[in-house]
Amino acid sequence: MKYYFAPMEGVSGYIYRNAYQKHFHNIDRYFTPFIAPKKNHAMSSKEKNDVLPEHNLGMTVIPQILTNQAEYFLHTSSVLAEMGYTEVNLNLGCPSSTVVSKKKGAGFLSEPDRLEHFLEDVTEGLARLGMQLSIKTRIGMRDVEEFADILDLYNDFPLSELIIHPRLQKDLYNNTPDWNAFRQAVDTSKHVLCYNGDLFTVEAYQKFCETFPGIDCVMLGRGILRNPCLLDQIQQNGDVDYGKIRLFHEDVLNGYTEAFSGDKPVLFKMKELWSHMLELFPQGDNYAKKIRKVEHISEYKTIAAQLFDSVCV
């Protein structure tokens, strides 16, 4: 089985990736949070910083791009090609209303004719650059019946991989992924498939493998954010290693402290990290308010140490 790390906006940037790779090193491919290019502006400084090769050593990283303009997509891809990247990923899955209202992300699925022309231009342009295209997609906007036509559209293009999150845009992250729709892709897609969606536990992963024995690639996102040891548990049948998570946490904190000036931006990132991870800790509820209210890194370190001490023998 191949394991991919999902692009998680605001969380899974290069600092998190490097810390995770150092302590867990069980991801085959990391997908970056999306790059959103604008006219004559391939990447913001933050986006460029995230994909710099020197910030991603020892990892296979695939930049993800979110746009509905082929010109912008190809301009960004050409910059990435100069950095040494050979593949880019198109975001057709983001369900956020601010993105969808601009017909980007999952919203682009509502305009199949326009999407077809976009893919024609992009695949031709990437071929000239010597780059491959993969797609991360939802199964439609409002109705699962849309998915058959979406799959037919994808089948017309030379994709390196199709990553499917089998929810509709309207679902956001509610309800459960539609495994019947994913089965439809297994039966009809011409492309190599990767599954993404709600594999939060070892049991959920095992159930997926039993249901789809022919699929050899999964993408994990929120499952790893909630439990950085998830893949270790899947591969080794072990328990949560809180000591390992403690070392990982320290490297994430040190990375943000070096990258940002002042306590506030560092604490914002660390609080976001804990918003996913706290439920893994038996005493997490007791520390949630303390972490949320902390205003100084020195105080934060004391609280985090107390939390880890409660689980580390």
pLDDT at 40: 73
231 in the same domain as 247 = no
Give how far Cα 177 sits from Cα of 42, 74, 174, 234, Å: 33, 32, 9, 20
123 in the same domain as 32 = yes
142 in the same domain as 267 = no
pLDDT at 34: 97
pLDDT band at 85 (very low <50, low <70, confident <90, very high): very high
pLDDT band at 313 (very low <50, low <70, confident <90, very high): low
Last residue of a domain, one of 195, 211, 236: 236
The CATH number covering residue 186 comes to 3.20.20.70
pLDDT at 238: 84
Mean pLDDT in residue range 138-166: 97
Q: How far apart are CA 248 and CA 28, in angstroms?
A: 19
| Residue range of the domain that includes 281 | 242-309
Number of domains in the chain: 2
Task: Using alpha carbons, select from 218, 180, 181 the residue that is nearest to residue 201.
Answer: 218
301 in the same domain as 178 = no
36-45, 175-184, 200-209, 237-246: range with lowest mean pLDDT: 36-45
Last residue of a domain, one of 236, 265, 299: 236
Q: How far apart are CA 30 and CA 252, in angstroms?
A: 17
* Backbone φ/ψ region at 146: left (φ over 0), alpha (ψ -120 to 50), beta: alpha
Instruction: Show Cβ contacts of residue 285 under 8 Å, excluding neighbours closer than 6 positions.
Output: 278
197 in the same domain as 287 = no
126 in the same domain as 26 = yes
pLDDT at 173: 93
Query: In percent, how much of the chain has pLDDT > 90?
Result: 95
Last residue of a domain, one of 214, 236, 258: 236
pTM: 0.96
269 in the same domain as 154 = no
